[in-house]
Chain A
Amino acid sequence: MVFGRSERRRRSAPAEPVTLKILVAGGFGVGKTTLVGSVSEIRPLRTEERLTEAGRPVDDLDGVEGKSTTTVAMDFGRITVHEELVLYLFGTPGQDRFWFLWDELARGALGAVVLADTRRLADSFAAIDYFERRGLPFTVAVNCFDGAARYPAETVRDALNLDPGVPVMLCDARERESARDVLIAVVEHAMRHGAERREPALP
């Protein structure tokens, strides 16, 4: 009977789109908000404020000295695929002390990308470990910063001790096309992951 009411009202109201979300994870200052901003149709929004001076004793800024603020909550962007299908991108909080937000973000997510910086690879361990434990399909994208040494994807895979099935790619989070390709890789990986999960259920 609950459905009866909403069906009746549907005629006067626009249908709600199907919504999906992809997470953008990685260490502090690795370019998560930049990547979201490169592909989002809206300026990245955030629901809570940022840390400035207050975060200084806690946040490790080695290698990212140019950055003076950090995200406390999550930044997100939106891509309207069409009227009935909307993709949201959520940047995860950059610091380990905001783990409690991750569970909420990961719930129902299609997949994730872990952004990595070759100068601070260890910063991506926490995110990789989290998605592995949760069984959420993820890819790794190395954000190629100006001035940072370039390494082949396979070298990064070995250094991160990744499962052979996890796609690793190089990207430039500032470039729309590059960021787009990162997202396509996540969805394709999620699709393969889903197909593998469905397979054993077949008679």
Chain B
Amino acid sequence: MTDQDGPAGPGRGAARWFDDDAGRVVRPYAMTRGRTRTAAEGRLDLIAQVIAESRTEEPIADQTLSPEHVDIVGLCRHSPLSVAELAAELDLPVGVLRVLIGDLLDAELVRVSRPVPPAELPAEQVLREVIDGLRTL
């Protein structure tokens, strides 16, 4: 329905890769310094909301943080963003993003909303609100 479903662009079949086709310069594995997991894993559902602890634009002084860490904080400074949206926005695999958010939680630069526990259903009132909201679409 959109261009993403359309036929592959010209030149895609070429033997040499340029720019974006060549992939990232820094491999995701290097970005997380080899880590594939974070202690915060369980809290970082795809729809968990991440928000910066500070609203101010002060630069982040922590020298151990990568540019990707700083990007995450910047994206969720003014309004919360879901883990899935951050991954799409930064074009990072969700697994990598989770590790990076875990670092930011440790550094107390962001916090994460507590998702509805899987075994718990949302209240009926919430579901009614969803239905009413959908009807206005």
Chain A residues near B (Cβ < 8 Å): 6, 9, 12-14, 16-21, 33-34, 37, 39, 43-48, 50, 52-53, 67-69, 74, 76, 78-79, 81-82, 85-88, 90, 104-105, 107-108, 110, 174, 176-177, 180, 183-184, 187-188, 190-191, 194-195, 197-198
> What 1/0 mask marks residues of chain B from 90 to 132 whose CB sits below 8 Å from any chain A CB?
0011100000000000000001010111100110101111111
A45: chain B residues within 8 A (beta carbon):
84-85, 88-89
B88: chain A residues within 8 A (beta carbon):
45-47, 76
A74: chain B residues within 8 A (beta carbon):
84
Cβ-defined contact, A194 with B84, below 8 A: no
Cβ-defined contact, B131 with A190, below 8 A: no
- Chain A residue at minimal CB-CB distance from B108: A5
Report the Cα distance A197→B121, complex, angstroms: 10
Chain B residues near A (Cβ < 8 Å): 1-2, 4-8, 12-13, 45-49, 51, 53, 55, 78-80, 82, 84-85, 87-89, 92-94, 111, 113, 115-118, 121-122, 124, 126-135, 137
21 A-B residue pairs with CB within 8 Å: A16-B80, A18-B122, A19-B48, A19-B82, A19-B113, A34-B1, A45-B88, A48-B93, A50-B4, A69-B6, A82-B129, A82-B133, A86-B82, A88-B46, A88-B47, A90-B84, A107-B45, A108-B118, A110-B130, A184-B135, A198-B121
- Lowest 7 A-B CB distances belong to which pairs? A81-B133, A16-B113, A45-B88, A16-B49, A19-B47, A108-B118, A47-B87
Cβ-defined contact, A90 with B127, below 8 A: no
For the residues of A in contact with B, the DSSP-based class is mixed
> A68 to chain B: closest CB distance in Å?
5
Report the Cα distance A31→B102, complex, angstroms: 35
Question: A194-B124, A194-B127 known; A78 and B4 CB under 8 Å?
Answer: no
Question: A13-B55, A76-B84, A105-B46 known; A37 and B1 CB under 8 Å?
Answer: yes
Cβ-defined contact, A81 with B12, below 8 A: no
Cβ-defined contact, B5 with A20, below 8 A: no
Report the Cα distance A48→B4, complex, angstroms: 12
B126: chain A residues within 8 A (beta carbon):
18, 20, 85
- Chain A residue at minimal CB-CB distance from B5: A69
A107: chain B residues within 8 A (beta carbon):
45, 118
Cβ-defined contact, A190 with B127, below 8 A: yes
> A168 to chain B: closest CB distance in Å?
19
> A11 to chain B: closest CB distance in Å?
11
- Chain B residue at minimal CB-CB distance from A12: B55
Report the Cα distance A197→B94, complex, angstroms: 33
B93: chain A residues within 8 A (beta carbon):
47-48
Cβ-defined contact, B122 with A180, below 8 A: no
